[in-house]
Structure 1
Amino acid sequence: MAGGYAYGERPRRRGRRLLVGLLVLVIVLAGLLVVADRVAAGFAERTIADRVRQEVAKQDASAQVQSVSVGGFPFLTQVLKGRYESISMRLADVNGAVQGKGVSLPRVDIDARNVDAPLDTLRSGSGDVTAGAVHGTGTISYDSVAKLINRPGVQLAAQNGKLGITAPVDLLGQKFTVRGTAKLAVQNGQVALKFDDLTADELPNIPLAQAALRNYASQISINIPLPQLPFQLAVKDVQPQPDGLAVTADARNVPLRSVSG
């Protein structure tokens, strides 16, 4: 009886040991795949970041590439296929000031989708890296806009989805506080600010006073030259936000890195 029990247990113990061995093997293989995936991700991010920096340097845009990260999972299959779901980039100090005019974007976040970056291209450094679509966002500070308006005491802020202004002004020899909002539009690579809805506390409702107010509104209505953005990004929209004017830009079928000559 005891001998039969021991005989029956021996195959079960072997089976358990085999199962444990298989589980350990699976865990080891999974760990190796994770490591390989991380290595592939690091290789792709470093190499594509270098290509992006080269492309930014070649273009007229003045900017620093702060970071590049590859999205999607797993990375290893993306590297082998040469096609990436998304590549996110952060640019700093995108400069658009020309002879003291224009604004700088302290930070621009760029998201490139459906990126073709063949492995041979990344290895050799010769060939094209292209994105099916690129989306960029950045913010123009209100302080920089106020400097362009160049009138004493101008304060800008988001106001119920519009760009609001408050400023002291001399009209007809008297001091008033002007308030109102601006219409925003993107035109020929510039943001157009048009103040046509201004009021002034206690300003007399007489033609001369109202004409002076309209003249002031015309003086502070300006066009803001925007920085030239890399990767053919064209600004499509601008919206007032608590921290400044948020601009969005888009492009399609964009070379992130052109063929080397």
Structure 2
Amino acid sequence: MRKLIIGLLVLAGLAVIVDFGAAAYSEYRVSRALREGGDLIADPEVTIHGFPFLAQAVNGRFQNVDIRARILRQDIPGEISAEATLTGVHLPLGDLVDGNVRRVPVERVEGRMRLEPTELGRLFKIPDLQVHSRPADKSDGTGGSGGSGMTTAGALVLTGTLPGTPVASARAGAPLGGDKVSIQADLLVEGDQVRIIATGFYKGTGTETTPTAVIPEADRPAVLERFTRTIDTKELPFGLRPTKVSAQGGQIVVEGKGDNVTIDLDQLQRP
């Protein structure tokens, strides 16, 4: 009886190893197809969830697949993070093994594009740019410090140092330097674009204070224009259209989704 139990445990262990090995190989095949088809800079991270994997493969339906990739684009210096969560992926085992991952029916796909603080600073040409949520719009009530909360009303605070001579101080003959300002802005989705529109200067609420230089009235429109940008969302995975944009942890996160769609798994990035 003891030998029988040990034998069954060994077989179970081997089955688990084979299952995980098959999942790892399949993830590698999909990752390579994504990199080659999307002309990515590195192999994306692909995770096929659910156990046992082989049971899903035999049925030709995978419960959940996560994809994470880094993408380069010409209009934003640096790298963009693209993510996709696929639910109910219908893909025959033979096609998966052969790497034939075109025209794959998916019950639901959710895509995200993340613009991190470093890339946002390069986009605005303000290296120390920080993205905050206004305290009144924070879902977690942490006071808009760029934490894990999310902007619910599309309201942002952008803080950074303007390059060059301080606008106000230069007129008084002060040494060269930069003005640090905090700008309140609206975050909007318009068609296939995300718009960050600076609407005014922000000094904080209640006991919270935010550094803002004294900018003469005549120079304020030019400062607000520097903090206004339009971002194309063509890097949303599988060509999804944006439906939501928010500030999370200092990032700008653009999201889109689709139900009962057919995608090319080797075309994460739309040409």
One-letter code aligned to 1:234: R
Question: Take 1:149 and 1:41, find their aligned partners in 2: how far apart are those partners?
Answer: 42
**2:148 maps to what in 1?**
none
In the TM superposition, what are the counterparts of 1:16-165 in structure 2 within 5 Å? Answer: 19-57=1-39, 62-92=40-70, 94-97=71-74, 101-102=75-76, 104-126=78-100, 128-150=103-125, 155-159=129-133, 160=144, 161=151, 162-165=156-159
Question: Take 1:201 and 1:45, find their aligned partners in 2: how far apart are those partners?
Answer: 52
Unaligned runs of 5+ in 1: 1-18, 204-208
Q: 1:138–1:247: 8 Å Cα contact kept in structure 2? A: yes
**Post-superposition CA distance 1:156-200 (Å, at most 9, x none):** 331424232344552594686543211111223332111112166
User: For residues 247 and 40 of structure 1, do their structure 2 counterparts lie closer, same or farther at Cα, with a shift above 3 Å needed?
Assistant: same
Question: Take 2:97 and 2:122, find their aligned partners in 1: how far apart are those partners?
Answer: 47
User: For residues 122 and 74 of structure 1, do their structure 2 counterparts lie closer, same or farther at Cα, with a shift above 3 Å needed?
Assistant: same
Between structures 1 and 2, the one with greater helix share: 1
How many percent identity over aligned positions?
20
* TM-score (normalizing by structure 2): 0.68
User: For residues 55 and 83 of structure 1, do their structure 2 counterparts lie closer, same or farther at Cα, with a shift above 3 Å needed?
Assistant: farther
One-letter code aligned to 1:96: R
One-letter code aligned to 2:65: I
Q: 2:35–2:41: 8 Å Cα contact kept in structure 1? A: no
**1:256 maps to what in 2?**
264
Q: 2:124–2:227: 8 Å Cα contact kept in structure 1? A: yes
- Aligned-pair Cα RMSD in Å: 3.2
Rg: which structure is higher? 1
**Post-superposition CA distance 1:204-253 (Å, at most 9, x none):** xxxxx535423432353221234533422333333223443233333342
Q: 1:192–1:224: 8 Å Cα contact kept in structure 2? A: yes
**1:10 maps to what in 2?**
none
User: For residues 65 and 196 of structure 1, do their structure 2 counterparts lie closer, same or farther at Cα, with a shift above 3 Å needed?
Assistant: same
Q: Does 1:224 align with 2:224?
A: no
**1:6 maps to what in 2?**
none
Between structures 1 and 2, the one with greater strand share: 1
Q: Does 1:194 align with 2:201?
A: no
Unaligned runs of 5+ in 2: 134-143, 145-150, 203-211, 267-271
Q: 1:89–1:110: 8 Å Cα contact kept in structure 2? A: yes
Aligned residues: 226
* TM-score (normalizing by structure 1): 0.70
